[in-house]
Amino acid sequence: MRISGNEVEIGRRGMLQLGAGVALAVGAALWYKHERTHEDPPPVREPRWTFSLTDEEAGGTGQESIVVAGGVVYLATEDSAGLYAIDAATGRKKWHVALSDSRPVEMAVSAGTVYVAGDDGAVHALRTSDGAHRWRARPHGRMRNAGPTAPKVAGSRVLVSILPSSGEDDPDPAPSVLYALDTADGGLVWQREGTLLDVRDGLAYLQLPDRGIGALDPRTGELRWSARPGKDLEERTVDAFGKDLLYGDGGNGDGGPGSELVAYDPRTGAVRWQTPAAYPSSAVVQGGTVYIDAPGRGEDAEGRLHALDAATGKVRWTVAPDSSTRMTMLNDGAVSAADAGAVYLVWDDDERWPDARTIVQAYDARHGRPRWRADRPEAALSALAAPGNHLVVGYLDGWYAYDTRTGRALWRVSAGEEGAMAPVVADGVLYCPNETGVRAVGLARWTAARLTPGRGPSARGATASR
C-alpha cells in the first residue's frame, strides 16, 4: 500500500505485502492467558454499497490496482476493460475509459489528473472529472509485459520506473529505467537507470543499478546521496518513513546472518543507527517505535520481535519465539500491522496447508505483553489497523474486523467466490476489493441493525448507502 496525502493506493502485486506476519509463538501458560480459540463466524456486515464489474457493459474482471482520492474510487482491471471511476459516497460509476492495448497496472492521482502506467510501456494522464485523455507517453517505446512502478508526482514532474520484460534464461536482462515526464504534456525531461521507491519532501528515492539506494532531485535527476550495498550486503531497500528518518534493510542475498536494519537521514543519507537482522525484515513504524522481526545474529535470533526506539535504535522490548511451533509468515519478514496501542502479528500454521489455521496475536506497544489471541481455520492474505479500534484481516473468503482492545471478531464482509484482496481505508471508509469489484464499509460505530446473520450482501451493481 502507498499513502500520499489523502490518497490510498494498493496494487494487486502488493496484495501479499500489505500486512505481514511473523514466525512467532510463545508458551501457553504464560503468553496465552487471554487466548481466544476459534469461534463461530461473526455477523455479516452489509456494505454501504457494492460495485460489481460483472454488471458493467464494458465488463472487466481481475483488478490490478485500486486508488481512493478526492471522493472517487479508481479501479484498474487487468483485462482490456481499462479504468473505472466510482463515486466513493454512492458507489455509482462516474466514467469508464478503455485503454486500448494497454493493461493498466499502477495509478496515482494528483491535481485533477489520474496517471496510469500500463504493461505496454505507456503512461496515461486522464482528467479526473470525465476520464478524458490529457496525454499519453511511451518513454521507452512500445513494450510487452512491462513492469511499471506506481507513478509519483513531484511538482511539475511525474516519475515512473519501467522494467522491460525479460526471459528467465536471459543472460543480460534489460535494466529498470526511471523516467521523469512533464505533467503538462508527458514530454521526457530526464531518465536514468534505477527503480523508483517513493517521493517524499522534495526528494525521489530509488534503488540504484548496483542495488544500493539513493535520493535524487526529481526536477533534474541529480543524485543527492547514495548508500551502496557494501562488501557483505548484496542490496539495500527502503521499507518505511518515520519522523525525520527513513528505514531500510540490507540483505546478503540468502537471508542469513549479516543482514541489518538501518535508519538514514532522508536529506543526506547519513546513517543515524543500525542493528543486525539475521533474516531480512521489513520495518513498520508507528509513532516513535520501529517494529521488526528477527533482529540479532545467529540461529536463535529467528522469529524474534523487537520494538526499537525510532530515533536511537535502542531496544524497548523483545518477544522471544517458541521454537517448538512451526508457522508460515503471512509475508516474509514483516510485522502485520501496528497502531498506537499494539502491534499485531498474523501467521498461518504451515503444517495444515491447505487447511490452514490463521493465528492473530496482539502485543501491547508499551511492554510487549500479549493482549489477546484469535484464530480461524482459513488462510490469511492481509492485515490492516483501521480507525475505530478495528484490525481488518483479509482471508480467502472475506474480510474480518476484530476489536483491537479485546480480539473479538465484530463483523465480516463476504468476498464471494473470488477471494479477498487487501483492503484500503480512506476518510473513515474501508474499501474491500476482489477480482469482480469493490465493497465500501463504514468504520463508524456499528449497531446490530446494520449486521445481517447468514449470507453476505449481494454483489450486483451499486446499492444505496445505508
pLDDT at 446: 45
**Tell me, what's the pLDDT at 283?**
82
CA distances from 315 to 197, 257, 369, 408 (A): 27, 19, 15, 30
- Residue 462 is assigned to a structural domain of this protein: no
Predicted pLDDT of residue 278? 59
Higher pLDDT, 346 or 398: 398
- 143, part of any domain: yes
Check pLDDT > 70 for residue 89.
yes
Percent of the chain with pLDDT over 70: 72
Could you identify the residue written with the cell 521507452? 140
For residue 82, name the pLDDT band (cuts at 50, 70, 90).
confident
For the cut 50, the answer to whether the pLDDT of residue 193 exceeds it is yes
Q: Is residue 105 part of a domain?
A: yes
Q: Does 14 reside within a domain?
A: yes
Is pLDDT of 321 > 60? no
Residue 20 belongs to a domain: yes
Confidence band for 380, pLDDT divided at 50, 70 and 90: confident
Q: Measured between alpha carbons, how far is 151 from 137 in angstroms, rounded to an integer? A: 13
Q: How far apart are CA 262 and CA 276, in angstroms?
A: 9
- The domain tally of the chain equals 1
Q: Residue 189 phi/psi, 5° resolution?
A: -95, -45
Question: Is residue 29 within a helix (H) or strand (E), and if so which, with residue range?
Answer: helix 28-31
Q: Per the domain annotation, does 9 fall within a domain?
A: yes
The range of the structural domain enclosing residue 390 comes to 2-452
CB neighbour list of residue 66: distance below 8 Å, 6 or more residues apart: 9, 10, 73, 74, 75, 76, 424, 431, 433, 438
Residue 180 located in a structural domain:
yes
The better pLDDT of the pair 30, 426 is held by 426
Q: Give the pLDDT score at 198.
A: 94
On whether residue 466 sits in a domain, the answer given is no
How much is the average pLDDT of 27-51? 65
* Nearest CA among 309, 380, 308 for reference residue 345: 380
Q: CB–CB of 141/98 below 8 Å?
A: no
pLDDT digits (tens, 9 = 90+) for 264-315: 999 999 999 988 765 555 788 999 999 887 555 555 555 678 899 999 999 9
So what's the pLDDT on residue 257? 52
> Which pLDDT value is given to residue 458?
30
Tell me the CATH number at 155: 2.130.10.10
Q: Write the pLDDT tens digit of every residue in 112-151.
A: 999 998 888 889 999 999 999 999 999 887 777 777 889 9
Q: Classify residue 82 as left (phi > 0), alpha (psi -120 to 50) or beta.
A: left
Q: What is the pLDDT of residue 169?
A: 66
At 138 the three-state DSSP class reads coil
pLDDT of residue 54: 77
> How would residue 332 be classed by pLDDT, with cut points 50, 70 and 90?
very low
Confidence at residue 271, expressed as pLDDT on a 0 to 100 scale: 93
